Amino acid sequence: MKRNIVFSLIILMFSVASASAAEFRLQGIDGKQYALSDYKGKWVIVNYWATWCPPCLEEIPELVDFHERHKDTDAVVLGVNYEEKTRQELLGFSDEYMITYPVLLGEMGSGKNVGPIPGLPTTYVISPTGEIMARQVGPLTAKMLDDFLLQQAKK
């Protein structure tokens, strides 16, 4: 019973109406340009975060775990830093926290976000066809992402 309630809450947290994700092209801390369209055919987890945000820091290992298990098959994580930090600062931070997914330099107030960012962390789940399938405001876990993708595969 308790497991079903938890699973139902996970589904409710992620449920949003499908809409096409706004295309964005952002520079990564590695100097490369990243765009949502580069990942057509894969699930894309777009995570807006900041270095000063405790829940953001707590979910980094979860996002790394998810990314490492899925990057070569069906999903990737893109971490969009949503604060005024230099590329050098973020490179050091990324090394310290062992972030293996691409970290992108967000452009606050530019309108280049996938959708509204009501708080940090905010995570969007984009389908392989480019549709926004879910938004989570607040921290998440790799299990929550795995469960969501499993639910979508059953539809």
Q: Is the pLDDT of residue 8 over 60?
A: no
Give me the number of domains the chain comprises: 1
Residue type, 69: R
Confidence of residue 155 (pLDDT cuts 50, 70, 90): confident
Q: Is the pLDDT of residue 45 over 60?
A: yes
**CATH number of the domain where residue 119 is located:** 3.40.30.10
Query: For residue 67, what pLDDT is reported?
Result: 98
Question: Please, where are the H alpha helices in 41-141?
Answer: 54-70, 87-96
Host domain of residue 146:
2-154
Residues 51-77: what's their mean pLDDT?
98
Query: For residue 126, what pLDDT is reported?
Result: 94
Are the CB atoms for 101 and 64 separated by under 8 Å? yes
Query: For residue 3, what pLDDT is reported?
Result: 41
Query: For residue 20, what pLDDT is reported?
Result: 65
Residues 60-74: what's their mean pLDDT?
98
Q: What pLDDT, in 10s, does the model give residues 96-142?
A: 999 999 999 987 766 667 888 999 999 999 999 999 999 999 999 99
Pair of tokens at residue 1: 């019973």
Average pLDDT of the chain is 87
* Bond from prior residue into 121 cis (ω within 30 degrees of 0): yes
Q: What pLDDT, in 10s, does the model give residues 16-35?
A: 445 666 677 899 999 999 99
